[in-house]
Amino acid sequence: MNDFVILTEYFRSENKNRRKEINKSIEVNCRIDQTKKVVVFIDPEVEFPPSLKKVISEENYKKIEFHYTKPQSRSTYSDFYSYANKNLIGENCVLCNNDISFDSSLDLIINSEGFDLSGHFICLTRWDAMRNNSLKFKQPARIRKNSQDAWIFKAPVPVKMVEKGGFYMGRPGCDGMNSYLATISGLKILNPSESVVATHRHFSRHRTYSRGHRMGGDDIYMCIYSTDKMHYDKSKILYKFNEPERGYLYGDEAIRRAIEKEADNEHHWEWALKKCTSR
């Protein structure tokens, strides 16, 4: 028990219902036995909701640890990875969007025979919470198939993920860039989300981004197909490679080509980061 440290960010949404969804997700993550603590990255000028202290026990509320960011700024993947590398060496870390919560299925990561989180990078496709209290696995026919809203790793991560991770969570395309970054950094990516459940709460449908905010794209985008198994399967990896005669690469070829083309793709990566942080 208490095997995971959850890293997330908090901001006060202008939408009341959206605030409730974010608060509920943090509440659930504090309640479950699997969490040691929940590290909340927060602007020091933003008030953390006092209502949370009223709905969970004092013991569970003590799991919350605040990490204050620069005023009026957002945290990047780099900020989260840097924090983990400095403060959470040897810990099992969960990085997630703030409307994501977990349950006892996290135990599978620790208890699955033959699996060691070290050297791996778990990318989880979400389960959408429905109004009838059921969950629906997010697998649309085409758009955003195998998208990811949570990532699990053992700290520290390779320094390249700190150096190149200067983009925000929650932007369209950030998940594929994050998988690509983990791959070129030497980690083994997998997506056991059919067994490990990341619950997404978004009944309000309130969003602060549009398709114009999309980043990433061909050459710096990795996709990892979901499975119910807790093991690394290279055949599940897809790389969008911007050559018409090749299109999509899988498995060993996908990994090899992404690593080989990293330097050539640097201008595209820099463009994506600039697009993300300038809007």
pLDDT tens for 176-208 read 999 999 999 999 999 999 999 999 986 655 455
What is the assigned CATH class of domain 4-277?
alpha beta
Element (H, E) at 42: strand 35-42
Domain map of the chain by residue range?
Answer: 4-277
Coil, strand or helix: which one is 84?
A: helix
Q: What would the mean pLDDT of 60-83 be, rounded to a whole number?
A: 94
Q: Two tokens at 47?
A: 């008030």
Predicted confidence (pLDDT) per residue in 9-45, tens digit: 998 777 788 888 999 999 999 999 999 999 999 999 9
Q: What is the pTM of this model?
A: 0.93
Per-residue pLDDT reduced to its tens digit, 233-277: 999 999 987 765 667 899 999 999 999 999 999 998 998 888 887
Instruction: Map tokens 């700190």 to a residue.
Output: 162
pLDDT band at 214 (very low <50, low <70, confident <90, very high): low
Nearest C-alpha neighbor of 94 from the set 22, 17, 197, 187: 197
Q: Which of 106, 137, 125 is nearest to 32 (CA)?
A: 106
Average pLDDT over residues 216-232: 88
Counting beta carbons within 10 angstroms of the beta carbon of residue 16, is it exposed (0 to 12), middle (13 to 18) or buried (19 or more)? exposed
* Average predicted confidence (pLDDT) for the chain: 89
Sign of CA dihedral 114, 116, 119, 122: positive
Q: What is the mean pLDDT of residues 134-139?
A: 84
Within 10 angstroms of residue 18's Cβ, the number of other Cβ atoms is 21
Cα separation, 213 vs 223, whole angstroms = 19
- What's the pLDDT tens digit per position in 81-118? 999 999 999 999 999 999 999 999 999 999 999 999 99
Question: What are the pLDDT digits (tens) for 150-178?
Answer: 999 999 999 999 999 999 988 878 899 99
Give the mean pLDDT of 136-157: 82
Report helix angle 77-87 to 174-184, nearest 10. 50
For residue 233, give every residue at least 6 positions away whose Cβ sits within 8 Å of its Cβ, in sequence order, or none. Answer: 190, 227
Q: How many CB atoms lie within 10 A of CB 4?
A: 23
